[in-house]
């Protein structure tokens, strides 16, 4: 059995799931491999226990995750208020608004709430004193999917090949293929266990990373063309506009991993990818290499995430956000660098 830390909280989560007969599992808007893998793997385990489970996610899954078992059964609309006694399980998401527009009505009509996440979001249980609530939130753990593996162990559930595929995808994507700074020995241990249980590492990586459309490559070429280096070489910024999407014949999902290119530039500490999601609406992805906390910056704009990977959604246009972020990153990176130098 794996110990991801805070086993008491995990036991409480397991107890709640055991007694729940009807569940709605949900995750954050613009879902990724971790949120979808966690949701679909946990559903398979709960269904094997004879429970009635609905997976709800506001947004469509990215096409490269179409191989995940049960992905076609995710619903994008659900009747609210929920049937009485339904337990709502939030995965990879600990803020009501990160569920999307349905968040408030789902949360307020749930008979019980379970939160499993590795982001520091809201303290849902404290805020919802009128709904029975248990939460397992551990920002030290690399993927929500890893918490789910430990949870299944606590509940005594089998990890079938399909479940292993879901959770392996969660861990693979949230550790950036075991390359990000969150990659711990436990990540390899759990991944090895999932491969033993039937996840196919070659097939999964191939499906996620090695099947690129021509439209995506065209979009990447356009984005690289507008990359600028800022903050005396410590930052780099790129953008995707609706016009670029149209010209490339691509979708925003195609740009999901583009933010790694500006960060990969030698000498760059922080990168930002500004995406126009609708006219006047912007989503910003940020990454850092070592010492700059992009989650702090994202939080100051109402977003969140992790030290090295964070984002926020806002209003405005691309050029305004390009200059605003260039200015802020220049200032904050210089300040932090000065601090680092003072502290030796």
Query: Residue 267 burial by CB count (10 A; 0-12/13-18/19+): exposed, middle or buried?
Result: exposed
Pick one of 311, 325, 329, 332: the residue that binds ligand 5GP (CB under 6 A).
311
**Cβ at position 2, least distance to ligand 5GP in Å:** 22
Rounded Cα–Cα distance for residues 297 and 87 (Å): 34
Instruction: Kindly tell me which of 256 and 332 has the beta carbon lying closer to ligand 5GP.
Output: 256
Residue 312 contact, options Mn ion, ligand 5GP, none, Cβ 5-8 Å cut-off depending on partner type: ligand 5GP
Pick one of 16, 144, 285, 293: the residue that binds ligand 5GP (CB under 6 A).
285
Could you say which residues in the range 116-175 bind ligand 5GP, by CB under 6 A? Answer: 119
The residue count for binding ligand 5GP (CB under 6 A) is 14
**Who's near 222: CB < 8 A, 6+ residues apart?**
240, 244, 247, 248
Strand partners, 56: 26, 75
What is the chain's alpha carbon radius of gyration, rounded to the nearest angstrom? 20
Pick one of 10, 82, 310, 333: the residue that binds ligand 5GP (CB under 6 A).
310
Pick one of 306, 308, 326, 333: the residue that binds ligand 5GP (CB under 6 A).
306
Q: What is the DSSP letter of 58?
A: S
Q: How many Cβ atoms sit within 10 Å of the Cβ of residue 22?
A: 15
Q: How many Cβ atoms sit within 10 Å of the Cβ of residue 25?
A: 23
Q: Is 303 in the site for ligand 5GP (CB under 6 A)?
A: yes
Q: Closest Cα partner for 167 from 152, 179, 155?
A: 152
220: tokens are: 């990447």
Question: Which residue of the chain is nearest ligand 5GP when measured via CB?
Answer: 305
State the DSSP string of 280-300.
Answer: TEEEEEEEESSS--HHHHHHH
The residue count for binding Mn ion (CB under 5 A) is 4
Q: How many Cβ atoms sit within 10 Å of the Cβ of residue 81?
A: 11
Instruction: Kindly tell me which of 43 and 119 has the beta carbon lying closer to ligand 5GP.
Output: 119
Site string for Mn ion, 174-203 (x = CB under 5 A): x-----------------------------
Question: Which residue of the chain is nearest Mn ion when measured via CB?
Answer: 34
Q: What is the DSSP letter of 75?
A: B
Strand partners, 280: none
Q: Is 305 in the site for ligand 5GP (CB under 6 A)?
A: yes
Instruction: Kindly tell me which of 44 and 274 has the beta carbon lying closer to ligand 5GP.
Output: 274
Q: Is 56 in the site for ligand 5GP (CB under 6 A)?
A: no
**Cβ at position 17, least distance to ligand 5GP in Å:** 23
Q: Is 240 in the site for ligand 5GP (CB under 6 A)?
A: no
Please report the sign of the dihedral spanned by the C-alpha atoms of residue 175, residue 180, residue 186, residue 189: positive
Which stretches of the chain bind ligand 5GP, using CB under 6 A? Answer: 28, 95, 98, 119, 285, 303-306, 309-313
């Amino acid at each position: 059995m794996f110990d991801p830390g805070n086993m008491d909280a995990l036991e409480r989560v397991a107890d709640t799931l055991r007694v729940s007969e009807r569940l709605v599992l949900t995750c954050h808007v613009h879902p990724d491999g971790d949120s979808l893998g966690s949701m679909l793997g946990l559903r398979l385990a709960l269904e094997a226990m004879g429970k009635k489970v609905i997976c709800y996610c506001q947004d469509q899954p990215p096409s490269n995750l179409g191989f995940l078992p049960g992905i076609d059964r995710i619903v994008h609309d659900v009747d609210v208020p929920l049937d009485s006694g339904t337990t709502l399980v939030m995965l990879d998401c600990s803020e009501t608004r990160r569920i999307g527009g349905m968040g408030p009505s789902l949360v307020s009509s749930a008979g019980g709430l379970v939160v499993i996440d590795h982001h520091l979001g809201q303290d849902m249980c404290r805020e919802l004193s009128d709904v029975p609530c248990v939460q397992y939130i551990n920002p030290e753990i690399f993927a929500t999917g890893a918490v789910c593996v430990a949870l299944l162990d606590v509940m005594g559930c089998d990890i079938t090949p399909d479940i292993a595929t879901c959770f392996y995808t969660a861990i693979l994507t949230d550790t950036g293929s075991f390359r990000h700074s969150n990659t711990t020995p436990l990540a390899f241990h759990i991944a090895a266990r999932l491969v033993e249980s039937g996840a196919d590492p070659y097939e999964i990586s191939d499906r996620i990373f090695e099947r690129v459309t021509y439209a995506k490559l065209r979009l990447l070429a356009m984005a690289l063309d507008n990359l600028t280096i800022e903050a005396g070489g410590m930052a780099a910024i790129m953008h995707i506009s609706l016009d670029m999407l149209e010209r490339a014949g691509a979708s925003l999902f195609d740009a999901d991993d583009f933010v790694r290119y500006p960060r990969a530039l030698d000498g760059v500490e922080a990168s930002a990818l500004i995406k126009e999601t609708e006219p006047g609406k912007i989503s910003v992805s940020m990454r850092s290499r070592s010492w700059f906390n992009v989650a702090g910056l994202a939080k100051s704009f109402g977003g969140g995430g992790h030290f090295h990977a964070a984002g926020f959604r806002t209003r405005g246009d691309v050029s305004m956000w390009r200059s605003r972020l260039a200015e802020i990153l220049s200032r904050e990176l210089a300040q932090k660098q000065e601090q680092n130098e003072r502290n030796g």
